[in-house]
Each structure stands twice: as structure tokens, then as C-alpha cells.
Amino acid sequence: MHKENPAPVLSGVVGFFDDPESLTEAAAKVRDSSYKQFDCFTPYAVHGLEHAQGLPRSKVPYVTGVFAFTGTATAFAWQYAASATWWPHIIGGKPMNSLPAFVPIIFELSVLFGGIATFFGMLAFNRLPNLKKRAFDPSITNNRFAIMIDNPNAEIDDEEEHVSFSPEQAEQFLKSVGAKDVRKVYNEGWFS
Amino acid sequence: MPDPISTVTWDNHLNIGPAHAADLGIQSNDVVLLKGAQGSFEIPVKVQPGIAKGAVTLALGYGRTAAGSVGNQVGQNAYVFAGLKGDSGLAYHGAEVTISTTGKKYQLAETQLHHKILGRPILNEISYEEYKKNPKASMETEPAVKMDKVPTLWSEPFDYSKSPHRWMLAVDLNSCTGCGACVVACQAENNTPVVGRDRVRQSREMHWMRIDRYYMGDENNPTVAFQPMMCQHCENAPCETVCPVVATSHSEDGLNQMTYSRCVGTRYCQNNCPYKTRRFNFFDHWKDVKDTKNMVWNPDVTVRSRGIMEKCTFCVQRINEAKGKAKDKKTAIKDGELKTACQQTCPTDAIIFGNVNDPASGIHQWIKNDRAFRSMEVLNTRPAVHYLTKVRNAEGEAVEGGKEHGHS
Amino acid sequence: MATANQETLKPINDVLVTGGRTFAEVNEDVARPLENFPTGKWWVCFIAAMAAFFMGAVLLLQTFKNGVGLWGLNQPVGWGNDVTTFVFWVGIGHAGTLISAILFLFRQKWRTGINRSAEAMTIFAVMTAGMVIMTHTGRTWLAAIWLFPYPNQRQLWPNFRSPLEWDVFAVSTYFTISLIFWYTGLVPDLASIRDRAKNKIRKFFLTILSLGWRGSNKQWVHYEQAYLIFAGLSTPLVLSVHSVVSFDFAVSQLPGWHTTIFPPYFVAGAIFSGFAMVVTLLVLAREAFNLKHYITMDHLEKMNKIIMTTGMLVGYAYAVEFFIAWYSGSTFERATFINRAFGDYWWAYWIMVSCNVFIPQLFWVKKFRRSIPVMFVVSLYVNIGMYFERFVIIVTSLHHDFLPSSWANYIPSWVELGMFTGWIGFFFIWFLLFVRFLPSIAMGEVKSVMDQPRKGASHA
């Protein structure tokens, strides 16, 4: 007895480019068009592309800053507590709150907290690890660039909420801004 | 125990004066054939400052054959050369001998390899004339051996004058003969292991207390100074700050404490001690003490395993015992009731130990003495161990006062 | 727009990637060693490294069983080959972070050909250093836990004032941040390898390790920001870590150790020895894996210039130490330095000076800077010289310190020398595994700085 496969969900339409300049120009055009949900794919970070795509600045530095200062405060409080409150000793005639001696660890812990927070913050902002959306073409991580216009209905399950989206029109639009090998892309996870 | 003058352990050796050795072309640790009418044997040489040219000396009591593992095959039997003086016993000198080189070498197990003070503010001496003229002069020899309180950048963590006890120890360098009884007493009291000839050769002897012996003046007729050196229990102990696990800290009665069970053996404290009084257990020496030999341990003192640092504790076990007894009797510890092992054994009473906060104690007077100084005070370690300046009375004795003003 | 062939177009930055490579060729060149079975040469090196490590491990276990007495340490020399090796390896690690972080902040594009291998070298060197310092203690099985401040029932804490405790934090932080930085850089490259992978198992692991990276620009934005932050954090970190290591000596009392020049002197020395190790490793790697278009002669020349510069900084520090010892008038300080140059360890001192100060001067000559045999030999000598520098600092200051009555000499025992070799083996095991399984060149970053495809050009 067959199990009925559900119809694959359209994830979007994609068009390829061979050089970063064309990609950047095309991205600017897509940004200025009515298609609001789109993304560019590149083998490396292309300068100026975030402006062409209209992306805001990343908030990762705020995460870093908050956690780095947390690290500073933690290191100071913890060393002070351990050395002066919980387990005080007369050590070499130094005062219990030996602030100059605490400085190296305060610095190191600030960097440690800031660094770890930056890493996990970046992963969180990037929604990584990503297991749901498979890479649609191996040439992206090799030598080609792409723009994908997202299907806004891909994430919305309820049919009532769907907006109108024509994959064919999107494909035409991509061709008009200079993309090659324009095609549809379907939702696929990494391990399905 | 290291010989007080030669600091050699485990073997005897032929002592030759420097001029004589230079003539013969021999150095310390060369093995020579000692030959006389009565017999001959091979023996290592030690160049000993102060021996007259043409004379050689050799310690008796070695070369035993029925003394067990400690005495057998250690050194050579010098009685071979001791003749009879008619009815009046043995002639300890006068045997004619010849020395010939063999080309062999034998490393003597010395605990001290360098003998000069080199102008460092380690100990202080003054001649009797100067002392008579001005007793305070001993404090003004160069480099300064007594520092006024040095301004500090931070507040003192603890005021020791408020404690019920503040333990200090003082050594009178005039009374000290360098006999080494204190070294043996300390070793017996504190379960310090005997490490053997090979370890001493590697400079790994475990004595918590040592007698440093310095030569001054002409090599062929030197003046000798002894300085018993043990943990100085510094107020500003350099060792305490650098231990990463708080295995060493300072007690409120002025002792530098050593916590064996916390020590992980980084050896940073030993490196940072300017007096090098800390000893590291490189091996499990306690394992060599088997069966009933265990009875030699003092049950009041821990036996340390390897990987752990140890040092003089001012006989803290005796301090605690005295405190306990005084508490039971509800009295204070009387001066003289509590003696450290070294103090107890010293034949000349050169060592005094006690509570400096007790105005009636002997140590309290000694600290106030004009002659009291601390070793290497320029480092501002503020040791609790004081020494009394040696006053030299004999004519022609060189006086070491330090020639350079040294700061570190 | 006229079509132009990439090959005949005037290159913008040909110094960075030679041979007119395209992006596809970059992937191909870098991935090829990973996708083919390891060659005989690799196996020979790997087995040698394993053998060395095995010998070192056996000797280490003997030390655990019998005691530190198997080494040559004594009173007064409590540290010898053990801490020398520790500082040696931590120092080597610093070049990787400098290349990754500091050259990034200075916008030196040539770093892209070498930063992946250099960072890997850093991580493995710091791992080795961490192992060495843990095992130098008398009771390693306790030191490994008690040096870390974890809450416990006995309410014990370490002594935060001790430089060794600062070391624990500095080296742990350095290792963690370097690892994170390196891994972040690896993610897009792992995605490249994943997309080429034919082997199912390899593809599975790469998918997980690459976190499902797809090259989306929304992700690149956060990624680049994080990368910049890592570079900004790592720069003061690398300067602080070796400063903290130098505090092990500078914060102590000994003449010859207690000097404020140590932090900058040690950092310069670390960069010096680290770059020398990078040159040694990359000269071999570019030959073995045919990466000469990416690790070009210009890259090597620039590294040699850095080696020479830091070597001169180190030489300056030597001279200043002597000057200050004399100028200070301190009996102890003067005696220590005269002893360093002319005492029992004079031979170690002069090896150090020849290898660190005289030999790198060869790089004034352009021909030598660009000669593979010369730079390989010089880089080996520099590392020998830097080992002896730490040996001289540690041992000469300890063996002749304040009280002449406690002076004694130190000779490393065979056990120590065997363990030193074992740690070298340990490092090389990791590095050889790295070049076998991970891309040794940052493909994504190289693509961003090499000749970009031109608009309208035909793609190869």
C-alpha cells in the first residue's frame, strides 16, 4: 500500500550569476521591486551586497558587549568573594581585596564570555544549525552566485492566509535582472 | 648530616689546602691514591680552604664493615694511618703519606657548592673594636641590614601585634658553632627523609634546616661564618602569593603555614623563595622506611608523599600541643615552656624561640637587641627569623660587612 | 560589453593567488588532498609522530608512577625543561592568532592563504602547552582539578593572586576563543567540501559540522560581524595571554625574572617563534599538497620579514636587559646577567643569541628571503633559539639566585628529553590529521581577495 507523498512545498525561485557585480546590481533591483522576501547566496561575503539587499546592520555586537561586561562583573565579584569573603587568607601580606592581582582574570573572563556569546549569538541570529533547508545547488559554495525569491506561502500552513504569489512571474523577473538558469526550488531538509 | 665545614654527606674525603692542590694539579672530586707505610687506598679529594700546605686531613669513623646499610662501604677507614703513641693512645697526626693521581673521579655528595657571600646582605658581622665604640654600628654596615618600615602601596591585611601569640625565632651568630645538632634534631622531629648519596649529589637533600658556611678572606687562611638557615616565615612571604592552590598561607600568629594535602607540587613557591628553604619531595622516600623502622617517625607530624613541598614549620606540632595544654590549664603559654626541636638541641643555646607579643619573653629582648638583623632585609620580605650580628674578636679576622650597596 | 578572457586581463592582486586560478580551481586544489587516500609520505610522518608521542606518554606515566624525581630538577632549580616547553608551545601558538586577527584588522589580504593552517597550528600548540603545564606538577591528578575554581563542598578556592592561576584562565580562554574563531572560519569551507562530497559518511559528518550552511547573505552579514568581533577580541587576547605567561616570571622575585620588560619581550618572542613554525609547516605543506599558487613566495617573504622584525625586537630586549642590569646597580641583577653570558650555561646563552639575533639577519638579503632552503633552515634555527631563550631565562635565574649557598646546576634527564620529543609528536599528530581531514586553506576568504570574475566574462 503506497503512502501518499504530500505535494512538495515550493520554497522559492532562484536565478544564478557568474560574478559579484551583476549579482549586486540585480539584488538592488529586487530590493526595489515588490518582492520583499528574497535572499542572495554567495561562496564568500561580497562587499556592498548587504546594502544592495537592504539588510540592516547585525546586532551581534550588542550580544558581545552585554556578555563581555557580564564577564567583567562576574570575574571581579567571584574573585572578590572567594578571596575576601568565603575563604580569606593572609597571603604574602597582600590585602584581601587585591584588585591589581585580580585584573588579569577579569580581562580574560570578559573576553571569554564575550567570545562565546558572540559565537552562539551569531548562530542564533543565523538560525544555525540549519537542518530544514537543504542547499539547492553545489555551485553556490564553489563559484557561482544566486538570488532566490522566497515563496511567502512556504512557511504558512493555513491556506486561508496565503498571499498571491506567482512563481512564473518571479522567474520572469529574475531573468529580466540578468539571472541565468532560473528554476524553482522545493523545500527539502538535509536528512529527508 | 652534612659535615659542618665540608658540607659533604655520606663519604669521607682527603682534605688538601688550595695552594697544595694547585701545586699537585688536583681538584675536588678527583680520586687519589693515598699511600703510606701503614697501607694505602684510593680516596676522593676535597680542596679545603685553611689547610696548611704539606698537610692533608682525613676524617675517622668511615670505612666500616659491620655497620649495616648506612655505614658499610661508606668512605675509607682512616685508622690505617693512625699510629700508636707509646702508651698514651693513638697518634692522630704525623703519618707520612704520598698522594698520586689516579685519573678517576668521584662526585662527593656536598650540600653546599658555593662558599662566598659576594657582597650580598645575607649576614652581618662587626669587629669587637667597632662594637665597643658604638654598639649601634652593626646596623650601619653596608649594605643596610636593618630597614625602617618601607612605605607600602596597600593596607596591611592583619595587625600581628594584636594576636595573643606572634612566634619569632632568633639565632645568635656569636654563639652558633655550626655543629649541626639543630639540623639533626629538626630531621628527627619532623620526619624528614634521608634521601641517600645520589639524591644529595643531585642537590635534592631534604633538610628543613641547614647551616650555611661561608668563607671570607684569604683562601689559604679564611675566616668562616655559619648561618643556620630555615624557613624565615616572612610576613610578606613571596612563596604565599604565587601558590595557585593556597597550599601556603600565613597564620594570625605569624607562621607561614604549609598545607600538605592541598599542595599539587607546582614548585613555584620554591622558585620564589629568596632563601631557598623549601624542599620538594621528588620521590616517595617514606616507602624506604619499612616494617619496624616506622617506629622512627614522630607520630605528631605528617609523613609527606611525593609531589609535595615541605619546609620548617617552627615545630607547629609543639606549638599546638603547648596551646592545647595551656587551654586545658586555662593559663597562657609561659616563655620557655615551648621549645622548637632546634632550640632544644642547640648545645650553646644559640637559638631562641618564643612569643614576641609577650613582653617577658626572651625573644622579645633579643629582637630589640642592637645586634638583631634579618637576612636580606632589602627584599622587604619581613622575616620572622632574626639573627644577632657576629662580633669578631680575634686579631686578623676578616670581617664581612658587604662591600656593595645592593638593592633588588 | 566586450568579453574578456580572465587570463589576459590585468590582474588586480596577482600577488595573492598566482597562476590565474578560478574559484572552481580553488575548491579543487584545496579539496584534493582531503578526497584522496593519504599518500605514503603522510603515513611516514604520522607514524613517526605517533611513535614519538607514544614514547613521551610512556615516560610521562613513569613519572606519574615514580615521581618528578625522574627529571633533572632539584633545589634550587624547580623549573627546567618542563616550563621551558610550556612557554615554547604557548609562544608558538601566538602567530596563528596574529595572522587571523591582527592582520585581519590591518586589512592585510595576504593572510587569507595562510590563516587556516596558522590558526590550526595555534590550537594544537595551545593544546600541547596545556598538557605540558598540567603534567609538570608533582600531583597532576589533583592539579588538573584544583587549579580550576569550581564550587565544592569543602568550600576551597584557588589563589587568584597567583600567576599560575592567571595562566589557567589565560590559556583556557585563548584555547576556547581560538577554537571558536577557527571553527567559525571553517563553516563555509566545510560547506564547500560537503557539496563536493561523494562519500555518504563524509557527507553526513560534513553536513553536521558545517551546520547546514548555504551561503545565504543574510547569514553572511551576521557571520562577517562575528568574525570582525572575534578578530577584535583576539587581538588584545593574544597580547594578554603571553603577557600573563610572562608574569609567571615577572611577578616573582628572582633577579633575571623580576623585570617589567617581560610582557612585551615575551609577546615579541612568541610572534617570532610562531611565525618561524608557520614557515616550517607551510614550506612542507605547500610542497606536499601542491598549494604553491595559494601559499606563494610573496606570502613566505612577508612572513620572513615579520620574523626578522620580531627577531630584532627580541635582540633589542636582550640588550636592554643587560643595560638595565648594569644601570640598576643591583648586585643581584648584575651578577645574574654576567652569569648568564659567562657562567656555567654560557653555551645555552650564545646558542640563543646566534639563533635569534644573528641568523635572522640573513633576511636582509632579498634572495635569502625568497629562497625555500634558506628560510626553512632559518625557521628551524629560530625555534631552537627560542627554546634556548626560555631555558636560559628559567634555568640561569634559578640556579644562581640570591643566596650563594643554595646555588646548584641543572641538567635535563633523558626522561625529560624523551617527553619533550613526545610533545612534538603530539603536536604533529594533530596537525597531520588536520591537513588530512580539513581544508588547509581558507577557500572562501581566498576567493574574496583573488581576481574576481568580471562582469560579462565567460566563465570557465
pLDDT at C460: 42
Nearest C-alpha in A relative to C211: A129
Euclidean distance between the first and the last CA atom of chain B, given in angstroms as a whole number? 33
Closest chain C C-alpha to B122 CA, distance in angstroms: 7
Query: What is the DSSP secondary structure assignment for residue B64, as one 8-state letter?
Result: B
- Mean pLDDT score, C298-310: 93
- Mean pLDDT score, A72-85: 93
Question: How do residues C347-404 score in pLDDT, each as one tens digit?
Answer: 999 999 999 999 999 999 999 999 999 999 999 999 999 999 999 999 999 999 899 9
- The single residue listed with the C-alpha cell 609527606 is B304
Q: Interhelix angle for C163-196 vs C81-97, to 10°?
A: 50
**Contact: C192, A46; criterion CB under 8 Å:** no
CA distances from C369 to A125, C280, C284, C299, C307 (A): 45, 14, 16, 11, 10
Predicted confidence band of residue A6 (pLDDT cuts 50, 70, 90): low
CA distances from B59 to B39, B47, B70, B75, B78 (A): 16, 14, 17, 9, 7
Count the alpha carbons within 13 Å of A137 in the hemisphere toward its beta carbon.
23
| Residue among B112, B266, B284 whose CB faces C164 most closely | B266
pLDDT at A139: 87
Q: Write the DSSP string, B195-229.
A: --HHHHHTT----SSEEEEEEES-TTS-EEEEEEE
Is the pLDDT at C15 greater than 80? The verdict is no
| Residue among A87, A91, A95 whose CB faces B240 most closely | A91
- Mean pLDDT score, B133-150: 67
B407 CB burial (10 A radius; 0-12, 13-18, 19+): middle
Range among A29-38, A44-53, B399-408, C57-66 with highest mean pLDDT value: C57-66
For the ranges C4-18, C70-84, C118-132, the lowest mean pLDDT is seen at C4-18
Euclidean distance between the first and the last CA atom of chain C, given in angstroms as a whole number? 18
**Mutate which of C75, C156, C257, C326 to disrupt the B interface (most B C-beta within 10 Å)?**
C75
Rounded to the nearest angstrom, the gap between the alpha carbon of residue C119 and the centroid of all alpha carbons in its chain is 8
Cα dihedral C268/C273/C274/C276 (nearest 10) = 130
Count the alpha carbons within 13 Å of B297 in the hemisphere toward its beta carbon.
17
> Is the sign of the CA dihedral B175, B180, B182, B183 positive or negative?
positive
Considering only CB atoms, which chain A residues are within 8 Å of B246? 87, 89, 91
What's the mean pLDDT when you consider all of chain A?
87
B359 in contact with A, Cβ within 8 Å: no
- Mean pLDDT score, A64-83: 95
Is the pLDDT at A150 greater than 50? The verdict is yes
A82 in contact with B, Cβ within 8 Å: no
**Contact: A128, C213; criterion CB under 8 Å:** yes
**Contact: A94, B241; criterion CB under 8 Å:** yes
- Mean pLDDT score, C207-217: 91
CA distance B29 to B322: 47
Is the pLDDT at C2 greater than 70? The verdict is no
- Mean pLDDT score, C288-309: 91
**DSSP H/E element including C414:** helix C414-437
Q: How many CB atoms lie within 10 A of CB B142?
A: 13
Contact partners, residue C223, CB within 8 Å, separation at least 6: A45, A122, A126, C184, C187, C188
The CATH class, in words, for B125-392 is alpha beta
**Mutate which of C252, C403, C411 to disrupt the B interface (most B C-beta within 10 Å)?**
C403
Is the pLDDT at C153 greater than 90? The verdict is no
Nearest partner of C87 among C126, C122, C123, C115, judged by Cα: C126
pLDDT at B84: 77
Find chains touching chain C: ≥3 CB pairs under 8 Å: A, B
For chain B, give every domain's residue range. 8-110, 125-392
Considering only CB atoms, which chain C residues are within 8 Å of B405? 329
pLDDT at C78: 93
- The single residue listed with the C-alpha cell 545565504 is C216
pLDDT at B147: 63
Range among B129-133, C3-7, C259-263 with highest mean pLDDT value: C259-263
| Residue among C66, C161, C403 whose CB faces B276 most closely | C403
A156 in contact with C, Cβ within 8 Å: no
> Is the sign of the CA dihedral C446, C102, C317, C82 positive or negative?
negative
CA distances from B92 to B4, B6, B81, B82, B89 (A): 20, 19, 8, 5, 9
Give the ipTM of the model, two decimals please. 0.91
Closest chain A C-alpha to C430 CA, distance in angstroms: 24
CA distance C181 to C178: 5
A128 in contact with B, Cβ within 8 Å: no
CA distance B239 to C329: 26
Q: What angle do CA C379, C380, C384 make, to 5 degrees?
A: 115
Euclidean distance between the first and the last CA atom of chain A, given in angstroms as a whole number? 21
**DSSP H/E element including C115:** helix C115-135
pLDDT at C56: 96
Nearest C-alpha in B relative to C161: B241
**Contact: B242, C164; criterion CB under 8 Å:** yes
Considering only CB atoms, which chain C residues are within 8 Å of A53? 217-218
Question: How do residues B83-97 score in pLDDT, each as one tens digit?
Answer: 777 777 888 888 888
Predicted confidence band of residue B142 (pLDDT cuts 50, 70, 90): low
Q: Is the pTM of this model over 0.80?
A: yes
A98 in contact with B, Cβ within 8 Å: yes
For chain A, give every domain's residue range. 10-57+135-186, 60-125
CA distance A192 to A168: 27
Question: How do residues C94-114 score in pLDDT, each as one tens digit?
Answer: 999 989 899 999 988 889 989
Given the candidates 3.40.50.200, 2.40.40.20, 1.10.357.10, 3.10.450.50, the CATH classification of the domain at B8-110 is 2.40.40.20
pLDDT at C4: 44
pLDDT at B396: 56
- Mean pLDDT score, C141-166: 92
Question: How do residues C420-459 score in pLDDT, each as one tens digit?
Answer: 999 999 999 999 999 999 999 999 999 988 877 777 654 4
Q: Which three cell numbers stand for residue C162?
A: 597567583
